[in-house]
Structure 1
Amino acid sequence: MTAQIHPTACVEEGASLGQDVKIGPFCYVAASTSLGDGCELMSHAVVMGHTQIGHGCTLHPHAVLGGLPQVIGFEASPDSRLVVGDNCVFREYATAHSGMPKFGGVTTVGNNCYVMIGAHIAHDNKIGNNVVMANNVSLAGHIEVGDNVWFGGLSAIHQFSRIGRNAFIGGGAIVVEDVIPFGSVVGNHAKLSGLNMVGLKRRGFTKAEQMEIRSAYKAVFFGEGLFRERVDQAAEKFADKPLAMEMIDFIRHAGDRPICKPA
């Protein structure tokens, strides 16, 4: 089936539309964009700039994808792009911006992401699969988010932060430090409150895997000695434990970025 386009929508010549695309009243689709099979744009949704959207995505009223980076003096460029995966949902007033060419030029959103009302994905973010952003979550630029991360409503993440996979960000948290894989953070400024055990159980981690992660967490954050010494000791102790090493390697590769720790 070909695309269904409401007569009040504006779809510029050159836009690439897949099969079974539905474009509702007063939507706008720019010439340099592409929509995969089965996408639906509800009333007043906008896809602009150089934006590629995968199969089966839904944009609710007033969602805007592909806007320019919010950087003073930035000039539009075909090298500023947004790439969205398959089966993503952007609820009302959700936004995602394209990247800056000098940093690679691409903002990416993975598959099966759910971006709720008023949430924002800024330029040059790298968002994994199955990420959920509740209402009014705000991600600044250059943020890396792993798979299966959940953001509570009104949380905000500082630019250049890294959020490890399967982490949980509590509602209203202000995150200015990197969050370890499997971690759970809360507060302003956010502090590590433990592990995201609820998320691990929901995603089918075995009891042995949970114990492995918990043991590494305790060794790194609550052992004896300086933090860097504990990390190095844990790297030796858990060298053959892949989930533990995922957390440890995340910390070791932080560079100058601080790691969010318990209060």
Structure 2
Amino acid sequence: MSQVHPSAIIEEGAQIGEGCVIGPFCYVGARVRLGDRVELKSHVVVTGDTSVGDDTVIFNFSVIGEIPQDLKFGGEDTRLEIGKRNRIREHVTVNTGTEGGGGVTRIGDDCLLMAGCHVAHDVQIGDRVIMVNHAGAAGHCIIEDDVIVGGISGLHQWVRVGRGAIIGALTMVAKDVIPYGLVQAPRGELDGLNLVGLKRRGASRADISALRAAFRELSSGEGTFMERAKRLGEDAESEYVRQIVDFVTGETDRSFLTPGK
């Protein structure tokens, strides 16, 4: 059984899971699929071809699944997929995808999107990501697992942020961020490693030492940044270091934030 406030509008065709709570003045579109125990507080709009996973809570005045803020969008059939156990706070906006970007915007499981955040078209967000108040991810960004994006920070289109990285508040990120990187300053500088996050996730001393050595090599070793990264991969024993190597040598449309720049 689900609880639906009398003032809520649920279009015919919407699929509502068991135990959902839909509060006052909410709107649920005809192509929306809500999993079990999803809660919409009040004045929430969920529209478009949007699926929301079990136990997700969406707070007041959020607009989820509206069309992209992209002038090239011509009404093509695109969608939004939101995973389980997410907390989407007040005034958050999340758009569906575009045909040119793969057609799908995705948010993983156990994420927290604080008040006023924006997730644009075709963004891919992993699990356990935190976006602090008024942070924004522009179109086609990839945010991997366990990333924290600080308040009032912005990610440029097509930027990738590697797993476990942290972006400080009031930061503009226009280049890819390596896994476990620490980025701060107004124009986004790679200023070290997210050591606090690594310790919280249980990284061993050996892995942290290996990451520190890898960071020093990327900072001041011989050759280009890409050459230094490939050289790290030749004898990397730490899984964390291999993740950095794979990320740097993977496909991207942007350059990288490099240590000290």
Tell me whether the two structures share a fold, i.e. TM-score over 0.5. Answer: yes
The equivalent residue for 2:27 is 28
1:86 equivalenced with 2:89 (yes/no): no
CA distance in 1, matches of 2:48, 2:125: 19
CA distance in 1, matches of 2:51, 2:13: 13
Instruction: State the SS of the aligned residue for 2:80.
Output: strand
Superposed CA deviations along residues 5-41 of structure 1, whole A, max 9, x for unmatched, are 1000101111000001000000000010010100100
Q: After the TM superposition, which of the residue ranges 243-252 and 193-202 deviates more from structure 2?
A: 243-252
Secondary structure of the 1:248 match is helix
| Structure 1 unaligned spans of 5+ | none
> For residues 70-110 of structure 1, what are the alpha-carbon distances to aligned partners after superposition, in whole Å with 9 as ceiling and x for unaligned?
01152333x31000000001110001100012322110000
Matching residue within 228, 245, 253 for 2:250: 253
- Matched AA of 2:184: V
**TM-score, structure 2 normalization:** 0.96
In 1, the alpha carbon distance for the partners of 2:201 and 2:23 equals 35
Whole-angstrom distance in 2 between the partners of 1:83 and 1:245 = 29
TM-score by length of 1: 0.95
1:113 pairs with 2:86: no
- For residue 170 of structure 1, what is the aligned residue in structure 2? 168
Matched, 1:243 2:240: yes
CA distance in 1 between counterparts of 2:167 and 2:189 reads 10
2:34 maps to 1:5: no
CA deviation vs aligned residue, 1:24-77 (integer Å, no higher than 9, x gap): 000000010010100100110110011000000111100111010101152333
Question: Is the CA contact (8 Å cut-off) linking 2:226 and 2:248 kept in structure 1?
Answer: no
Match of 2:232 in 1: 234
* Separation in 2, partners of 1:125, 1:226: 29
CA distance in 2, matches of 1:8, 1:166: 42
How far off its partner does 1:226 sit?
3.4
Q: CA deviation at 1:222?
A: 2.3
Select 1:224's aligned residue among 215, 222, 225.
222
Counting only pairs closer than 5 Å after superposition, residues 1-263 of structure 1 correspond to structure 2 as 2-77=1-76, 79-238=77-236, 240-261=237-258, 262-263=260-261
2:238 partner letter:
K
Aligned positions, number: 260
**Any idea what SS the aligned residue of 1:201 has?**
helix
Deviation, 1:212, is 1.8
3-state SS in 2 of match to 1:243: helix
Greater displacement, 59-68 / 245-254: 245-254
Unaligned residue ranges in structure 2 (runs of 5+)? none
Output the amino acid matched with 2:120: A
Identity among equivalent pairs (%): 41
Which string of whole-angstrom CA distances, capped at 9 and with x for unpartnered residues, describes residues 134-184 of structure 1? Answer: 000010000111100001100000000000000000001100000000001
Report the AA paired with residue 209 of structure 1: D
| SS of residue paired to 1:171 | coil
Q: Secondary structure at the match of 1:166?
A: coil
Distance in structure 2 (CA, Å) of the matches to 1:73 and 1:192: 33
Give the RMSD, CA atoms, in angstroms: 1.3
